[in-house]
Amino acid sequence: MKAILQDSSSSGSAAQQLQQVQQEPNSEQQEQPAPSSSTGSWVAELTDVAAVEPHYTTTLYYLAQVHGHAGDKVLSASYCAATLNRQIKEGSFNVNEWVQNSLQLSGYFLDGNAFALSQYCYVAANVCLALAKLHLYTLVASHELHVEGRQLSYSFAGPADVPAVLSFDALAGVPELSGLAWGDAALADSPDAALTLFKEALPWFKQALQYYQLEGWVTEHCNILFEMSNLYRCLAGFEADPHKRCVMHRSRAKLLQPLEGQLSQQHYPGLSRSISLELGNIFREIGDIKAAAGREPDKVAAAGSAASLHYQLFLDSFKGDDGQLPAKVEPEMEQHYLSAAFCMARVLQAGAAQHKEPREYIDAVEQAVFWLDTLVGYVKQNSVAAWEQEAAMAAEMASLLKEKLALTQRQMAMQQRLRAAA
């Protein structure tokens, strides 16, 4: 079964719609007439309840696909769950397909922050990568709630909201739903709890990498490395010690640096860009931590320089054959493109103050102004409403930097005149 779970626009809660899907056919069997010789043996088969059962399961499977293609994520998940449940009870199914669909269903529950149900499906599938993702997503949600201060919503508040179609009690080793943690209780609220989730996830990711080698599994291999990087990022958010936080971010960089420049831009443009952008963000975060902790200016500047190098590689990947940046990038890359331009300007501006030579300072500020102007021009030309506030901020920053630049240039000119007069 390969139910496609897409974005849903259906009404009603996920729990309500899941409850509407019955896992058993209508028990009120109407009396059927005896098959005539003209109707054939198939009518006799349909009057046999045992023979109808597989057809009913197949129908649920088709309904999962139909609602998935129609964009109704909730009903697609409902029929997917019902099919999985019946396949287990019937005992006739392809194990690999059942596991893949259980993982797909668990991914749907992760999107709704239903961590207990996601765990339930992952345990049923019993796949190392699935377990790694379960702990990662739980840590990500913990970071959002307790570090970023976001409010989370949960599609299933507790065991009472779970429909019967998700009761995989026929599988040995599947835990009782009432024994799992739900809502905020499933999340880490302290550094020790976050570290526990980290330690649960990391070995599973490493084990998955043993199978998904770079040779032959490029996309899967890189995606696992990105998820491991995210794991370190969220753990660092719970850490108070600046040095330890920097160590965690450097661990992220060590995962990805060997891949930068190694992938074919022609065959893997998205992955290549993602690696450069992730590395840029990593070193920018390291620089911010060092600056906030009052570390030596040269160490702060070194992190900023590394960040600008990776941001430059990311932004250069959008240039055309003429070497110019595009007037418009792909819609799915627009957010990342603008974010990289803004971050590039930030690290250049912060690093400019560390330059002792006036000419180096001017070069850094001019580059920062270039990327700020690029962002402002792009947002205005393409009417990117979501970035209007950032564009206004960038325009103000560019104006201030231009004033500083003009002042520095006047001071340099005056010093040159004084030296010439002497």
Q: What is the DSSP string of 343-402?
A: HHHHHHHHHHTT--SHHHHHHHHHHHHHHHHHHHHHHHHHT-GGGHHHHHHHHHHHHHHH
pLDDT for the residue 10: 45
Q: What is the DSSP letter of 122?
A: H
Unique residue bearing structure tokens 């069997």: 29
Query: How much is the average pLDDT of 70-99?
Result: 76
CA angle 363, 364, 366 (to 5 degrees): 65
Residue 49, pLDDT above cutoff 70? no
pLDDT for the residue 93: 64
Query: How much is the average pLDDT of 331-346?
Result: 95
Query: How much is the average pLDDT of 16-24?
Result: 54
pLDDT for the residue 116: 75
pLDDT for the residue 126: 45
Least confident of 67-76, 312-321, 338-347: 67-76
pLDDT band at 168 (very low <50, low <70, confident <90, very high): confident
How many Å is the Cα radius of gyration of the chain? Answer: 28
pLDDT for the residue 207: 79
Q: Residue 220, SS3?
A: helix
pLDDT for the residue 20: 55
CA torsion angle for 217, 223, 229, 235 (degrees, to 10)? -120
pLDDT for the residue 114: 73
pTM of the model: 0.70
Q: Which two tokens stand for residue 135?
A: 């702990």
pLDDT band at 241 (very low <50, low <70, confident <90, very high): very high
pLDDT band at 122 (very low <50, low <70, confident <90, very high): low
Q: Which two tokens stand for residue 166?
A: 């998700």
Give the side-chain half-sphere CA count within 13 A for 121.
30
pLDDT band at 32 (very low <50, low <70, confident <90, very high): very low
> How far apart are alpha carbons 52 and 70 in whole angstroms?
27
Are 186 and 138 spatial neighbours (Cβ–Cβ below 8 Å)?
Answer: yes
Between 30 and 272, the higher pLDDT residue? 272
Q: Which two tokens stand for residue 33?
A: 């007439």
Least confident of 112-116, 236-240, 309-313, 333-337: 112-116
pLDDT for the residue 123: 60
pLDDT for the residue 121: 66
Residue 407, pLDDT above cutoff 50? yes
- Tell me which residue of 195, 187, 263 sits closest to 223, measured CA to CA: 263
Q: What is the DSSP letter of 150?
A: P
What are the residue boundaries of the structural domains of the chain, listed by start? Answer: 325-422
pLDDT averaged over the chain?
Answer: 83
pLDDT band at 147 (very low <50, low <70, confident <90, very high): very high
Max CA distance (Å), the chain: 120
